[in-house]
Amino acid sequence: MSDLLSRRLAVLGERANLSLLGQCLHGIERECLRVDPQGELALTDHPRALGSALTHPQITTDYSEALVEFITPTHVDAAQTLDELEKVHRYAYSKLDGEYLWSPSMPGRLPPEEVIPIARYGDSNIGRLKHVYRRGLAVRYGKTMQCIAGIHYNFSLPEAVWPLLQGLEGDTQSPRDYQSARYIAMIRNFRRYSWLLMYLFGAAPALDGNFLRGRPHQLDSLDADTLFLPWATSLRMSDLGYQNNAQAGLTPCYNSLDSYLDSLRQAVSTPYPPYAAIGTQRNGEWVQLNTNIIQIENEYYSSIRPKRVTYTGERPLQALLSRGVQYVEVRCLDIDPYLPLGIDLAEARFLDAFLLYCALQDSPPMAGDECRASTDNFQRVVKEGRRPGLRLQRGGQALELHAWAGELLERIGALSELLDQVQGGDSHRSALAAQWAKLENPELTPSARVLADLRASGESFVQFALRQSRAHAEYFRSKPMSAAEQAHFDAMASQSLTEQAELEAASSGDFDTFVAAYQASILGLLSV
């Protein structure tokens, strides 16, 4: 354990400060495809009974009309966050007409590209902008890739922690700049160590052969319909299928918030010739918002993002530039097909300890060699993380995954103990013990369990996933919401439809002018 980590833990462990770690905030976003009773992608509209995908605070859509996204409010206890997520699932199932929510991250058998429905958000200018952005994603990456689902875990330390640590270190930056610098340092450590999350929680070692649309690949065939890699943990997080040269040169630097923002500002304002050749409109219809490397900030594909809650009409870059980093969004988590919510409390408890370790451990700037090694380590684990004797790169030396993971779990143990002191009980230490068990026996990992199930049952990936989806539907439908909870969600759905109608009624000016103003909001930042 580094001296700096020991000092920080000592301060946070003092009686006067111990309660602070019980004030971390947690939020979850869970994506999942709606499918019909046969497991085929639902081609129906986003159910009106769920409210407006544009304005509902907890139920929206991601890329496709069929790709729903459930969003929780933030809570200090991850158990409360998961309770909220369960309520949203139960409500959705009360409104789905014979459809299911797909259990894993990788989609089942998809229809032809042109048939996959892009999400629609109504006739307001902002609704149209969201739709055109997704049309741009189809042009750039294809619709198939956009049907992958995942779980995003939002996490923040309490604001009062930062001045405490800043005083300990004698740092003279402004409080806002210190907090941002510490979150960026946390992200650097996440890049160093997130391969561990792929080993422990990766749950996508196989996929439906149709997903590759006939493209060449290096996957093995498990059966006539299923492709896999024998030691893979998360094909979802591999470079499979993402043949996008525009982002290949975009590696935002995480050595400071300013360098990260500069990288993104350039990417959202620099034309990319192949996109310029397509143009923004075809036959009088918008096909992408602009011809730049990325259309908007959210297009940048990253396993973790620094975030700040935005004001109405404010762009993410503007919020970070003006007020600094407020929390991080972890984006690399697969949906566990064995869990009705795709995530459980043990995973959340471990994530908390892992993220606190990343935040409190010393995090020197990353030079180019370490950046490349971190990317290579991550990709090696998603493709062959359970391979016996697999070696990763650390400090220019090869080190067995098992040894390095053991060191990390040992150090994360100190955070687990501290969190249990704060909350009482032993749930964080129990969660850590479960991860130790996976390290000692790879067959306990979700990725190994999926492959073992497929081999034992003789099912294809789609058959397995549909069976799990049906089981989860039964779980949710067997315990309906209370009348009060149902009324609460009904009111939210109704209110969201009203808000969308009001937005559409209030929209003024033509869409072309609206898009130009939206683009200008970033161009104005380039001179800041």
Range in 61-65, 87-91, 235-239, 446-450 with the lowest mean pLDDT: 235-239
- Dihedral angle sign, alpha carbons of residues 241, 399, 332, 336: positive
Rounded to 10 deg, the angle between the 401-423 and 427-440 helix axes is 170
CATH code where residue 233 lies? 3.30.590.20
What the block records as the tokens of 378 is 């991550």
Looking from the CA of 157 toward its CB, the CA atoms found within 13 Å total 27
Q: What does the pLDDT average to over 257-275?
A: 92
pLDDT of residue 355 exceeding 50: yes
**pLDDT score for 163:** 95
Give tens-digit pLDDT for 247-262: 777 766 689 999 999 9
493, 56 Cβ separation under 8 angstroms:
yes
Closest CA to 353 of 153, 85, 75, 84: 153
Looking at per-residue pLDDT, the higher value among 459 and 517 belongs to 459
346 Rama sector, left if φ>0, alpha if ψ -120 to 50, beta otherwise = alpha
Give tens-digit pLDDT for 89-126: 999 999 998 999 999 999 999 999 999 999 999 999 99
Residue 334 per-residue DSSP state: P
Whole-number Å distance between alpha carbons of 303 and 285:
33
Burial class (CB in 10 A: 0-12, 13-18, 19+), 112: exposed
Specify which residues 29 forms β-bridges with: 71, 152
Rounded to 10 deg, the angle between the 345-360 and 175-193 helix axes is 120
Domain count, the chain: 1
With cut-offs at 50, 70 and 90, classify the pLDDT of residue 526.
low
Percentage with pLDDT > 90 across the chain: 88
Whole-number Å distance between alpha carbons of 406 and 403:
5
pLDDT of residue 295 exceeding 60: yes
82, 345 Cβ separation under 8 angstroms:
yes
Q: What are the start-end ranges of the E strands in 25-138?
A: 25-35, 59-61, 67-71, 100-101
Q: What does the pLDDT average to over 72-90?
A: 98
Structural domain boundaries enclosing 92 = 3-527
pLDDT of residue 76 exceeding 90: yes
215, 356 Cβ separation under 8 angstroms:
no
pLDDT of residue 245 exceeding 70: no
**H-type alpha helices, 308-367:** 316-323, 345-360
Residue in the structure block whose two tokens are 């610098």: 181
Burial class (CB in 10 A: 0-12, 13-18, 19+), 321: middle
**pLDDT score for 523:** 67
Give tens-digit pLDDT for 370-420: 999 999 999 999 999 999 999 999 999 999 999 999 999 999 999 999 999
**pLDDT score for 527:** 47
Q: What is the pTM of this model?
A: 0.96
**pLDDT score for 368:** 80
Range in 102-111, 148-157, 264-273 with the lowest mean pLDDT: 264-273
Range in 251-265, 305-319, 387-401, 432-446 with the lowest mean pLDDT: 251-265
Mean pLDDT of the chain: 94
Helix then strand count (H, E) for the chain reads 18, 14
- Dihedral angle sign, alpha carbons of residues 334, 337, 343, 344: negative
Give tens-digit pLDDT for 199-241: 999 999 999 999 999 988 999 999 999 999 999 999 999 987 5
